[in-house]
Amino acid sequence: MDLSSEKHNKPEKNSKPGIEDDAIKYKNADLPTLPEKTKREMEKTQAELDNFKKKALKEFPFILSIGIVPPQAVPKFEEELKEEVEIKEKLMHLIIVIPEEKYKEIPKIKPKLIELIKDNDPKVWLHIITPVDVWNYCLDSKFDIVEAIGLSFPLHDKGLLGALRVANIHKSLVLRKFEKYIVSYVIAGSLVTGTATKTSDVDVYIVIDDTDVKRMPRLELKEKLRSIINSYVMQAEELAGVKNKLSPQVYILTDFWESVKDAHPVIFTFIRDGVPLYDRGAFLPWKSLLKMGKIKPSPEAIDMFMSMGDKVTESVKRRLLDLVTYDIYWGVITPSQAVLMLYGCAPPKPKETAPLMEELFVKKEKLLEQKYVTILDKIVKIYKDYEHEKIKEIKGEEVDKLLADFEDYMKRLKKLREDIEKKVNEKTVIQLHEDVFKILKALFGNKSEPELVRQFEAELVKSGKAEAKFLHVLNELIKVSKNFKKGKYSKNYIEDIRKNSTHLISQLIEYGQRCELSNMERTRITINYKDGKADLFLTEPTFLIKDDEIFKVTDTIEQADKDEFDKALLSMKQSKKPAKISDLTLSVLKRELGDFDLGL
C-alpha cells in the first residue's frame, strides 16, 4: 500500500476523471465568455425555473430538493427511470425529492407539477423520487445514478443533494488514492435516517483492506490512513460548496471484521442503517446477513460488553479525581505563576506558589485577600495527597465545591492582574521620569524641571540635535508621573510612553557622550618628546597620560588614580572655562621630559 508523504494530499496527475472533476467544472461553469444570445436564453431559463420552484414550494412545501440533472447523466436517468411516455426530444431533466411518507401521493403531485412547468422553454421532464429510492439505488449498486443526483444543480435543497455531493466528491478523491484497497465507502447517520438538515454532519464509513500489509503495525497503518483520508475533507467541502461537515470514520478490514463477528453495537447499527456509495461486494453481504439474523454476538462479546457496565463506577471516580488533581490543580497554579511573573518574580515551583502569593500580595502589597491563598493552598494539598496516594477517590459534592472555589479564585486573579499591571506601570513611569531627569541634570546642571525642559528645547530641539516629538514625550512623562493615580491610562498609552521615553533616554545619552568626547578633545593636547608621546589634559589640576599611566602635574609630576582624573574632567565640563596651559606646567614638563613639541 502506497502511503508516501508526497502523494498524501495530491491525487495522481494521470488518474481518470472523477466526480470531483465534474464538480470543478460545475463550480466554474460561469467563467467562460458566452455569446450574448446564449446568455439571454440562460437568463430566461433560470427565471422560468425560479418561478417554477416558487410555485412548486408554495403548492408542496414539504419538497426536500429540486435539482437539475447534469447533461452527462441524462442518458443514465432515461435508462433507469423509464416513463410511460417515450422520450423523443432533448429535454432538461429535474429531479424532485419528496419525503417517503408522501410516496403514495406521487400520482396526484406529478400532474400538478407538470401543469406548473408545461409552458417552460426548454421543455422539462420531471423525476419524482423519495430518499428511500436514492438509498435503494445504492443497495442495488447503481452508484452512478446516486453520483448524478448528488451532482445535480440545486434549485432548492434541504440538505440531501449537498450531503450527497460532498460525500461523493470525497469518495472519488479517496478512490483515486486507494482504489484497489477500498472495500466499502458507506454513508450513514441522519442523512439516511431522514433527519438531516442543510448543516447536518455527513457521516461516512470507509473500510480499507489491510490484509496485504506485512511490514507496518496495524495501529500505525490505521493512523496514516486516517490522516490521509481526513486531508481530503476540506477539499471535498470546498468543491461541494455546502455547509455540511463531512465526518469520515476509517476502519481497516481486519478490525472491522472482528467487530462484525462480535456484533459490536456501533458496527451493528452502522451495517443496519448504512448504505454504500461504493462497495466491492463486502458491505451488502454483511447487511443481508444482518437482516437474516446471521450476525449474532458471541458469548465472549456479550461478557465483554456486560463488563463495561461494571467498570463505570470505577471510571467515573477516577475521572473525578483526575479533574481535581490535574485540571483544577494546573488551572490555578499556572495563572498564579503568571501573576507572580508579572510582578517581577521568577516563576516559582508549584509548592512555593501559595506562600509567595501570601507574602507578596496579601502581606506586602495588600492587593489580595487571605481566603484566596487558602483556596490555592487547599487545591495544592489535595494534589499532593493524591500524589502520595493518601486519597483514592473524591465525592461529587467536593468537586462541585472545588469548582466553585476555582471559578471564584480565577475571577479574583483577573482583578489582581489588573491591579498589578497598574502598579507595575506606575513604577515604570516613575522610574523613567527619574532616569530622564537624572540625565538632564547631568547635562544641564541641578536645575528645576521646568528649567531643564526649557534648556532641552533650546539646546537640543531647536538646534536639530533631538527630534521635536521628544519635547512632547518629555511633557507627557511629567504629566503622567504626577497624575498616574488620579488618571485612567490605557495599557497601550503607557506602552507608548515607555517606548518613547526609552528612545528619549538613548538620545540624551548619545548627546551626553558627544559632549564628553568634545570636552575631552577640547582639553587634550598631544606631547611629542624624545621617548615617545603622551596626552596632556588641561584640567584643574593638569593631568598627563603616559604609557597608560595617569600622572598629576603640579610643581612636579606625581602618580594619580582614575577617580581623581574623572572628577577633574567632570569639573572642567561643568565649569566650561577655556582650557589654558600655565608656564609652571611647561617648565615642569621640560624638566621631567626634556625637549618636547605640543600638538592638537
SS3 category, 191: helix
235 shares a domain with 185 = yes
pLDDT of amino acid 172: 92
| Residue 415 counted as domain residue | no
Range of 408-422, 450-464, 523-537 with top mean pLDDT: 408-422
Nearest by Cα to 449 from 423, 419, 420, 479: 479
- Confidence band of 600 (pLDDT split at 50, 70, 90): low
Distance CA 397, CA 29 (A): 62
Q: Which of 287, 304, 321 is the last residue of a domain?
A: 304
381 shares a domain with 478 = no
Q: Which three cell numbers stand for residue 79?
A: 435508462
Which of left, alpha, beta for 316 (phi over 0: left; psi -120 to 50: alpha)?
Answer: alpha
268 shares a domain with 205 = yes
Q: Which three cell numbers stand for residue 572?
A: 572642567
Q: Please spell the DSSP secondary structure of 560-571, one letter per residue.
A: --HHHHHHHHHH
pLDDT of amino acid 7: 39
CB neighbours of 102 closer than 8 A, spacing ≥ 6? 62, 109, 130
- Confidence band of 372 (pLDDT split at 50, 70, 90): very high
| Residue 390 counted as domain residue | yes
pLDDT of amino acid 14: 40
Q: Which of 106, 125, 158 is the last residue of a domain?
A: 158
Q: Which of 115-124, 493-502, 584-593 has the lowest mean pLDDT?
A: 115-124
- Confidence band of 169 (pLDDT split at 50, 70, 90): very high
506 shares a domain with 466 = yes
| Residue 462 counted as domain residue | yes
Range of 195-209, 288-302, 311-325, 395-409 with top mean pLDDT: 395-409
| Residue 479 counted as domain residue | yes
Distance CA 261, CA 257 (A): 6
Q: Which of 352, 372, 394 is the last residue of a domain?
A: 394
Q: 553 - beta bridge partners?
A: 542, 557
Q: What CATH number does the domain containing 126 carry?
A: 3.30.460
| Residue 12 counted as domain residue | no
Q: Using the structure block, give the residue that is written with the C-alpha cell 447517520.
A: 189
SS3 category, 303: helix
Percent of the chain with pLDDT over 90: 12
For the stretch 299-311, pLDDT in tens is: 555 555 555 555 6
Distance CA 496, CA 587 (A): 59
- Show the domain range for 561: 530-599
For the stretch 10-52, pLDDT in tens is: 444 444 444 445 544 444 444 345 567 666 777 788 888 888 8
Percent of the chain with pLDDT over 70: 82
Residue 375 has pLDDT above 60, yes or no: yes
CA angle 116, 119, 125 (to 5 degrees): 70
197 shares a domain with 290 = yes
SS3 category, 128: strand
299 shares a domain with 182 = yes
The total number of structural domains that make up the chain: 5
Residues in the chain: 600
Instruction: Spell 462-499 as b/e; 16+ CB within 10 A means b.
Output: eeeebeeebbebbebbbebbeebeeeebeeeebeebbe
How many CB atoms lie under 10 A from the CB of residue 593? 18
Q: Which of 1-10, 456-465, 482-491 has the lowest mean pLDDT?
A: 1-10
The mean pLDDT of 285-305, rounded to a whole number, is 69
For the stretch 112-132, pLDDT in tens is: 988 888 766 667 888 898 999
| Residue 401 counted as domain residue | no
Using the 8-state DSSP alphabet, how is residue 7 labeled?
Answer: G
To the nearest whole number, what is the mean pLDDT of the chain? 80
Distance CA 437, CA 456 (A): 11
Chain centroid offset of residue 547 CA: 64
How many CB atoms lie under 10 A from the CB of residue 359? 12
Nearest by Cα to 160 from 211, 236, 95: 95
CB neighbours of 134 closer than 8 A, spacing ≥ 6? 97, 146, 149, 160, 164
Distance CA 327, CA 314 (A): 19
| Residue 11 counted as domain residue | no
Radius of gyration of the chain (CA): 43
How deeply is 459 buried, as exposed, middle or buried, from its count of CB atoms within 10 A (0-12, 13-18, 19+)?
Answer: middle
| Residue 502 counted as domain residue | yes
381 shares a domain with 323 = yes
Residue 377 CB-half CA count within 13 A: 10
246 shares a domain with 187 = yes
CB neighbours of 290 closer than 8 A, spacing ≥ 6? 268, 271, 272
79 shares a domain with 122 = yes
- Model pTM above 0.95: no
563 shares a domain with 503 = no
CB neighbours of 435 closer than 8 A, spacing ≥ 6? 505
149 shares a domain with 40 = yes
CB neighbours of 581 closer than 8 A, spacing ≥ 6? 525, 536, 538, 542, 598
**More confident site: 574 or 213:** 213
548 shares a domain with 505 = no
Alpha-carbon distance values, 292 to 127, 141, 187, 475 (Å): 33, 20, 22, 90
